Amino acid sequence: MYWYMGHLFEAIDFVENPLYEQIISDIAHQKFSLVEQFFTPEEVAIFRQSLMEKYEEDAFKKAAIGNKLHETIVKSIRGDVILWMDETKANPAETLFFNKINALVNYLNKTCFLGILQKEFHYAIYPKNTFYKRHIDTFQNDDRRKLSVVCYLNEAGWLPENGGELVLYLNENGEEVEKVIYPFPGRVVIFESQIIEHEVKPVNTQRLSITGWLKTR
């Protein structure tokens, strides 16, 4: 009897969310989803301020790939600087950020069979004249990465001429198709980490973001 009641309440409790349903449908059909205004301009400003505070504290270090000794090689592949976020020590801005991400993760776990148990996010700054060459996010890092999530924190009025566009290399019926995504503030791009090759084109102006991965197992 109790079990039945509980079950009923759980069913009533579930409210379909059109935004999340759109994301799920996009990923199922095209392996990526681009969401405009996932974060409001106010939220973006709060996250950007948190990022800049930490950057000024010098908390960032050069993003490394593989062997840290080969820094020049690394620089020829990626030039961003990153700072990993620690949810257990979140400041108010980061709490706001993770609340919104966790709502999405909980929804995905309720409605899909992704089994996302872990996540990892970092702030990223691409200084002028940096880029990230074509790559796949599970390349040498972590095959538990299931979905990549990129959140853009640039100022309003970011121009395409600033560069730094994300290019997704999609496969449409055996043909490679380039999907160009400008890093406009509030936008969030979610894509399948194990499938989608992508790159960040050179930037002419400092480019700000939070990037993360939703992971299985």
Instruction: Tell the smallest beta-carbon distance from residue 73 to ligand OGA (Å).
Output: 17
- Distance separating alpha carbons of residues 155 and 46, to the nearest angstrom: 11
* Residue count, binding to ligand OGA (CB under 6 A): 8
Q: How many CB atoms lie within 10 A of CB 195?
A: 13
Q: How crowded is the C-beta side of 40, counted as CA atoms within 13 Å? A: 5
**Contact characters 128-167, ligand OGA, x per CB under 6 A:** ----x----x------------x---------------x-
Instruction: Tell the smallest beta-carbon distance from residue 198 to ligand OGA (Å).
Output: 5
Instruction: Tell the smallest beta-carbon distance from residue 66 to ligand OGA (Å).
Output: 14
Residue 170 interacting with ligand OGA (CB under 6 A): no
Does residue 157 sit in helix, strand or coil?
coil
Under DSSP, the state recorded for 78 is: B
Given ligand OGA, Mn ion, none, residue 211, with its beta carbon under 5 to 8 Å by kind, binds ligand OGA
Backbone angles phi, psi at 142, to 5 degrees: -165, 110
Which residue, judged by CB position, is nearest to Mn ion in the bound state? 137
Residue 198 interacting with ligand OGA (CB under 6 A): yes
Distances (CA, A) of 178 to 9, 63, 157, 166: 45, 26, 24, 10
Question: Of 107 and 214, which has the nearer Cβ to ligand OGA?
Answer: 214
Given ligand OGA, Mn ion, none, residue 146, with its beta carbon under 5 to 8 Å by kind, binds none
- Distance separating alpha carbons of residues 151 and 45, to the nearest angstrom: 12
Does residue 25 sit in helix, strand or coil?
helix
For residues 191 and 32, the answer to whether their CB atoms sit within 8 Å is yes
- Distance separating alpha carbons of residues 56 and 174, to the nearest angstrom: 46
- Distance separating alpha carbons of residues 100 and 90, to the nearest angstrom: 13
Question: Of 55 and 139, which has the nearer Cβ to Mn ion?
Answer: 139
Question: Of 54 and 187, which has the nearer Cβ to ligand OGA?
Answer: 187
For residues 203 and 211, the answer to whether their CB atoms sit within 8 Å is no
Residue 80 interacting with Mn ion (CB under 5 A): no
Given ligand OGA, Mn ion, none, residue 193, with its beta carbon under 5 to 8 Å by kind, binds none
**Contact characters 118-157, Mn ion, x per CB under 5 A:** -------------------x--------------------
List residues near ligand OGA by CB under 6 A.
Answer: 132, 137, 150, 166, 198, 200, 209, 211
List residues near Mn ion by CB under 5 A.
Answer: 137
